[in-house]
Amino acid sequence: MGMTYKGLPLVRSGDEMYYGNPDAPVIVYLKVLSTKEIGGQTVSDKIHVSLISTDTKLDPIQRMKKQGIKNGLYNALDVGAVWLQAEMSK
């Protein structure tokens, strides 16, 4: 099994990540906008977070439910997890 965060799949390809179950009505899309160096390690700095519908019949603008920019991967994932949980509980 691959990476998970709070029990849901987290898939990364380069600077893009998808969080959530791909069979669910919504997932979280994360895009690394910038990185910084800390202690000799390159870490994600600014992250664009989007809650998007998995319904590919909708146009891309209609698929976007929420979006924002967060500092750090943990903050971005945490906000995305809250959005995902709120949307799934509707």
Is it the case that residue 81 has pLDDT exceeding 70? yes
* Chain centroid offset of residue 51 CA: 7
pLDDT digits (tens, 9 = 90+) for 52-80: 999 999 998 999 999 999 999 999 999 99
18: Cβ contacts below 8 Å, ≥ 6 apart: 9, 10, 11, 27, 28, 29, 30
pLDDT digits (tens, 9 = 90+) for 25-43: 999 999 999 999 999 999 9
pTM, full prediction: 0.90
